Structure 1
Amino acid sequence: MIKVINGGIEVLVEDWPGRLGYMGLGMAAAGAMDNLALQLGNLILGNKKGDAALEIAGGYCQFEIVEDGVIAITGSDMSPTINESVVPMWEAIAVKAGDILKFSHFGQAGFRTYVCIAGEIDVPEYLGSKSTCLFGSYGGFEGRKLAKDDVIKVNKKDASGIAGRKLNPKYIPEYVNEWELRTIPGPNSVPDYVTESGMDYLFSTPMKISHNANRAAYRLQEVPDYFWAREDGGKGGSHPSNIVDHGYNMRGAVNVTGNTPSLLIADGPTLGGFVCVANVINADLWKIGQGIPARDKVKLKLVTVEDAIKARKEREAMFESVDLVIG
């Protein structure tokens, strides 16, 4: 078990791929914002790669270890310590009852850290997932972020021989300040909704992430007026970004409201009345959640559906690599 001493900015229970199959009922999939870090941390521990873990956004949090166990810390480096001593990331670490696990804050790159635990976090599944959906207040730990004195249970697991296992350094993801996101155009794109020059702008211009960024959407800097191929939204509304409501291509939709693009992600809306001009591919979704609000930039890179399928297959093949975990 783990007891929360300080919940920091935001600590959630998340798994992967989240709560699938309920978008038609208006329920977002939720799930880990950086699914790659979560899955790699679980594989270090010998868990199932999608098992639930703690997702730390921003940092400033602290925990007490209540029972002996083994953990792995992945994602952004927030200077983790145990009993004030620095501990390694991307490695299985033995912890003992009474240990104090502490995180500072996000640094030069990356915004989310994951604490994976041998045996997985024990919270009730809701519609097939343990993930927290903040904007629906369901799943995870009581449908909310963790707070002081919360106690998180952990499933029992024989952890002998796990401590010391580590991710092969060549597989550690690169954390940067300008995130290239491979993206497929559509469904609301050229020529009916967006001009060719507008799409050229979208795929050539680094766009700063707004301070208005959360698990529902990462807002980006505005697009120019020449982005639009029409003067208004017709029956959808007065602005060219308006459409008659339809389902959003979640997760990873590039949704444009007015002249403001947003990346719709884990807890984002499943339908609405604004255009979705493109979609970030599955293999690059993890990068969105590591973008630092009000600091980092994203750059969309045009790719094809075939490229997206290939990237997804390559990612799954990486998880099966015989040299992925060493020690």
Structure 2
Amino acid sequence: MSLTKMTVVRPGMLTTVQDWPGRVGYWKVGVPPSGPMDDLSFRLGNVALGNPEGAPGLESAMSGPSLTFDADTYVCVTGADARVQIDGTDAPQWRPVLVPAGAVLDIGPTSGAGLRVYVTIQGIIEVDEYLGSAATFTLGKFGGHRGGTLAGGDILEITGNTDAARIRSIPMEHRPVLTSTWDIAVTEGPHGAPEFFTRDDIDTLYSTRYEVHFNSDRTGVRLIGPKPEWARADGGEAGLHPSNIHDNAYSVGALDFTGDTPILLGPDGPSLGGFVCPVTVVAAERWKLGQLKPGDTIRFVPVKAAHAAALGALGLERRASLPVVFSSGGDGDDGVIARRDGDTAVTYRRSGDDNVLVEYGDMTLDLALRARAHALHQRIETIAPRGLMDLTPGIRSLQVKVDPDVLPITTLMGLLAEIEDDLPAASELVVPSRTVRMPLSWDDPSTREAIARYMHGVRSDAPWCPWNIEFIRRMNGLDTVADVFDTVFAADYMVLGLGDVYLGAPVATPLDPRHRLVTTKYNPARTWTPENAVGIGGAYLCIYGMEGPGGYQFVGRTTQVWNHRYPEQSGAFEKESPWLLRFFDRISWYPVEPEELMDLRADTAAGRGGGVDITDGEFSLAEHDKFLAANHESIEKFRGVQSVAFDAERTAWSAAGEFTKKEAGDAAA
């Protein structure tokens, strides 16, 4: 087997190494699949070269790279239209071409429709796998080549022999049609009308041509369109805005309403969050997200899930060569596949054609519902049916992702019904539950900086500005901000989900309801949040796993919850995984000064302790229920004060027109 060296002469724009299907199986801890945003163009390029269809290749946005090879090498350039030249001579796209040793392969800016261009190379690009994949997740700084975009002078090795006998053409009818006015097939759900949106909202969604906003990337495609009327006044204990719900798993391709802003979640998007998604792009159509560019328009076309094209197909069955989506309508069930009555009601929601979101009980924070979801999670994990891809728990839910070509949704629904019949009572739950004591720099300077950036660049008149902690005090009817401090440091926060904002980030709630501070989330969200900032949104606390957007109200900052040295061990992290926390861990805080926190963070980054103490233990739901019963009177008194303050804040928002404001970004557009 030969070894070829590829040198990057010019990196192009946002050029990364990707493979398909990416990093599968880690959605539950906030690790996205990554991989090519347009899987179809990428896979067709590999097939044309005789490679495995998921072999590592290059993805660029807006402008491709310039490359040389030290041996004759076949390449195939696919995706958006771009000028391809070999030593100044034009070469075709969508067809394998031979690049002689030392010649310069140059892919220029994209022109016309589409945004992303792909370069596949005969052989295998040799990069270290991270959690089983070569795909680059730039926000997490792992995968691909050094965890980021390529740079001029980078040298990558390619193994495999140049073999003209393996190459083949890509039939014209198999190539995806690129346009600037897109039809995209979606299924109803998981959260539609009439529970969350009005019927008019859904009619408007299907009749509107949404415009692609310039502030879009691999995490999500932001859209410009009409503001929903909403079917609810607010999200209850999940937040003041009607888009707020108790955190649950998302699907790639979900249309996520973060406040009033619709965002199509991409392959680098979050796995867990607390916003409603009325429709989800079917798996075979998600390639289109990778080719949407600012100014393009989208029409969402509802289809029946059973009639969606197969993701595994690369030919005519994929229907990518058709510029429109033909459909007689969706499933007509508002995204609810089935409901089941009983002591604990169950709702089975559709989230695309490859996910079922199993929700327990009413839209409330109840640890018994989380226990039920945990029991279901364990049972499915034990059975491990063929075609199961991922299991991701939320606060009162479990998302089951499958390959529908292997495990059809109808078969999955039968399995879920059988399991539900046999689940134990939630009150019997006893689980390992470690005590995790962590440092917290209260009102940390980095969070103050994030608020200042938000006020300067996003919104200066938000009710939670200029100080989130004062907003939390007001929302909960506390007398002073010192009471907020005392409440946070007195609480034991139970981890109910991981990956709320990527990379093992916990969504946790106080076990004692008297410590359960309730806030609403930023609307619109922040564009920057410091790594490991600590915030509260709804009734939940989160530690941000990395820098990025965010919406929780800040209380401070802590040390790392993701081991960036992995697979090397660091401090309190376990050797087997890069995430610090487990489901049902109990987090408690001790105060440190900002300078002390910086020292602890440096220790963790260097592989030393980091100030985190972990003690083994267990949690019994029955014992917790006894605690709640014994303290019922004082708990209800606290909730009463909190409810009055919550209603007062909502009234103030209504009087100020907060619920009817258009976002600045939309107004400008």
TM-score above 0.5, yes or no: yes
Aligned equivalent of 1:324: none
SS at match of 1:10: coil
> How many equivalent pairs are there?
314
Residue identity in the other structure for 1:300: F
Aligned equivalent of 1:38: 42
Q: Contact between 1:184 and 1:305, CA under 8 Å: does it hold in 2?
A: yes
1:65 deviates by: 2.3
Residue identity in the other structure for 1:295: G
Residue identity in the other structure for 2:241: H
2-structure distance, mates of 1:67, 1:317 = 32
1:319 deviates by: 8.3
1:295 deviates by: 1.8
SS at match of 1:312: coil
1:58 maps onto 2:68 in alignment: no
1:103 maps onto 2:107 in alignment: yes
Q: Contact between 1:29 and 1:266, CA under 8 Å: does it hold in 2?
A: yes
1:140 deviates by: 1.0
Q: Contact between 1:223 and 1:261, CA under 8 Å: does it hold in 2?
A: no
Deviations 1:248-278 (A, max 9, x none): 1x21111001111001011000111211221
1-structure distance, mates of 2:248, 2:317 = 35
Aligned equivalent of 2:247: 245
1:317 deviates by: 6.2
1-structure distance, mates of 2:315, 2:41 = 16
Q: Contact between 2:75 and 2:99, CA under 8 Å: does it hold in 1?
A: yes
Aligned equivalent of 2:140: 136
Residue identity in the other structure for 2:277: C
2-structure distance, mates of 1:172, 1:197 = 37
1:283 deviates by: 0.6
2-structure distance, mates of 1:239, 1:270 = 21
Aligned equivalent of 2:129: 125
1-structure distance, mates of 2:53, 2:209 = 32
Aligned equivalent of 2:218: 215
Residue identity in the other structure for 2:267: A
1-structure distance, mates of 2:45, 2:87 = 22
1:129 deviates by: 1.3
- The runs of 5 or more residues in structure 1 that have no matched partner are 321-327
CA 1:174 to 1:44, structure 2 compared with 1: closer, same or farther past 3 Å?
Answer: same
1:257 maps onto 2:258 in alignment: yes
Aligned equivalent of 2:75: 71
**1:234 pairs with one of 227, 236, 244:** 236
Compute the RMSD of aligned alpha carbons.
Answer: 1.7
CA 1:80 to 1:45, structure 2 compared with 1: closer, same or farther past 3 Å?
Answer: same
Q: Contact between 1:92 and 1:162, CA under 8 Å: does it hold in 2?
A: no
1:222 deviates by: 3.5
2-structure distance, mates of 1:312, 1:259 = 32
SS at match of 1:21: coil
The structure carrying a bigger helix percent of its residues is 2
1-structure distance, mates of 2:44, 2:269 = 24
1-structure distance, mates of 2:311, 2:30 = 29
CA 1:95 to 1:60, structure 2 compared with 1: closer, same or farther past 3 Å?
Answer: closer
1-structure distance, mates of 2:75, 2:311 = 28
1:162 deviates by: 4.3
CA 1:313 to 1:233, structure 2 compared with 1: closer, same or farther past 3 Å?
Answer: closer
1-structure distance, mates of 2:206, 2:92 = 37
Q: What TM-score results when the alignment is normalised by the length of structure 2?
A: 0.46
SS at match of 1:79: strand
Aligned equivalent of 1:300: 300
Aligned equivalent of 1:269: 270
Aligned equivalent of 2:203: 200
SS at match of 1:154: strand
Residue identity in the other structure for 2:281: V
Q: Contact between 1:45 and 1:92, CA under 8 Å: does it hold in 2?
A: yes
Work out which of the two has the higher radius of gyration on C-alpha atoms and give 1 or 2. 2
- Equivalent pairs: percent with the same residue? 36
2-structure distance, mates of 1:162, 1:69 = 13
1:158 deviates by: 4.1
CA 1:313 to 1:78, structure 2 compared with 1: closer, same or farther past 3 Å?
Answer: closer
CA 1:32 to 1:173, structure 2 compared with 1: closer, same or farther past 3 Å?
Answer: same
Aligned equivalent of 2:351: none
Query: Where does structure 1 differ by over 3 angstroms across 4 or more consecutive aligned residues?
Result: 316-320
RCO (CA 8 Å, sep 6+): is it higher in 1 or 2?
1
2-structure distance, mates of 1:199, 1:157 = 53
1:3 deviates by: 1.0
1:66 deviates by: 2.7
1-structure distance, mates of 2:79, 2:314 = 19
Q: Contact between 1:133 and 1:139, CA under 8 Å: does it hold in 2?
A: yes
